[in-house]
Amino acid sequence: MAKITRPEHGGALIPATKKYQIKKSDWLDLSTGINPHGWPVPEIPPAVYNRLPETDDGLIECAQNYYQNPDLIAIAGSQEAIQLIPKTLSELNLIPTRPRVGLVTPAYAEHEFSWQLARAEIMHLSPDNIESHLAELNVLVLINPNNPSGHLYSPESLQLWQQQLNRHKGFMIIDEAFMDCTPQYSLLPHTDFNQADNLIILRSVGKFFGLAGIRAGFMAAQPKVLESFQFFQGPWSVSHPARYVLKQALKDTQWIEQNRQWLLQQSDRLENILVDFIQNFDQQAKVNGSPLFKTVFTDKAQNLFEHLAHQGILTRLLDNLSGVRFGLPGDSQQFERLGQAINYSSCDLTRPFIKGC
């Protein structure tokens, strides 16, 4: 098997401090799509740390209510599911030994990495040609909305593709990590997994709820798949403190609605800054994204990333160098700092970055 390289991710602030010789406290980290104003975690009772987590603690009921679907299990973030799904489907003989897996690119790279480790044949797709390739696929993996493009697939299209895949026993996996601001696009409220038994849906609490550090999320699928997944998952996958926090966060309907509106407003503000910027920087560039991030797609992406990094603003340079992804600034001061840095006109971003320009 050819050498497979583990993907890099945003949020790597400590390496940036060493590379650019800027101390940690001076950075504005926009390299992730994590809500800068996450759910306000209360003090956690010491007893929560003292006891092992129990699965019948009411967390699943809270998740069933929030996601409007009964067929859920708790997982240690979407990442655990992404790593274990290939093994789970293989052990159940639901996919061939070397499955053909369709992935829309660019996308969160851990999906492709995990399927590469499973010796899958990877087919790179675009949103426009998915349907024409469904008959060739054993597995279709979609991120909805896509990270980093923000492309949204309608529930109607997804249901149609799921049914078409089911005709030849193909599987569909949908990663809804960034879905919370656009719940009307989620398939969860519309899915009976006893009927759609070739479908898996992942949800994260790291992005919208801003709780990435607790490493928790949820997976929905038919009972046989969930049972097999839990066998490989092992006991106590989601910690007791994480379960304690999640039970409260998922029930906080007032915060959820207020936060959803705030994120939409801040997202518009970020997009306006970036759209204004590319008019002078690169008129061929495009700005796309979701309420939690915006991506500038440009062939000058590396220059833009370096330009900002030397000013202490960390963004996410896409692996194929096709764009730079921006997370949301947390307040007006951070928006102002970004606006000043990105429009610093004395630097020519059409050429490689020169320190001091």
pLDDT digits (tens, 9 = 90+) for 146-177: 999 999 999 999 999 999 999 999 999 999 99
What domains lie within the chain, and their CATH numbers? 13-38+254-342 (3.90.1150.10), 46-251 (3.40.640.10)
Confidence label for 4 from pLDDT (cuts 50, 70 and 90): confident
At 174, list the tokens: 């949908």
**Nearest Cα residue to 335 out of 10, 30, 24:** 30
**Nearest Cα residue to 217 out of 263, 251, 182, 177:** 177
- Find the Cα–Cα–Cα–Cα dihedral 67, 106, 267, 331, rounded to 10°: 100
C-alpha span between 206 and 102 (Å, rounded): 25
Residue 283 has pLDDT above 60, yes or no: yes
What pLDDT is stored for residue 346 in this prediction?
42
C-beta separation of 44 from 63 below 8 A:
no
Average pLDDT of 241-248? 98
C-beta separation of 22 from 2 below 8 A:
no
pLDDT digits (tens, 9 = 90+) for 9-46: 777 899 999 999 999 999 999 999 999 999 999 999 99
Q: Could you tell me whether strands 121-125 and 100-104 are parallel, antiparallel, or unpaired per DSSP bridges?
A: parallel
Cis amide prior to 53 (ω within 30 degrees): no
C-beta separation of 178 from 33 below 8 A:
yes
CA distances from 270 to 9, 221, 296 (A): 21, 35, 11
Cα within 13 Å of Cα(104), Cβ side: 25
Confidence label for 350 from pLDDT (cuts 50, 70 and 90): low
- Identify the H or E element spanning 324: strand 323-327
Give the position of tokens 């160098």: 321
Residue 125's CB is within 10 A of a number of other CB atoms, namely 21
pLDDT digits (tens, 9 = 90+) for 190-234: 999 999 999 999 999 999 999 999 999 999 999 999 999 999 999
Burial level of 342, CB count in 10 A (0-12/13-18/19+)? buried
Phi then psi for residue 254, to 5 deg, are -65, -45
Residue count of the chain, please give it: 357
Q: pTM of this prediction?
A: 0.94
Q: The dihedral of CA 68, 73, 211, 51: what is its sign?
A: positive
Residue 3 has pLDDT above 90, yes or no: no
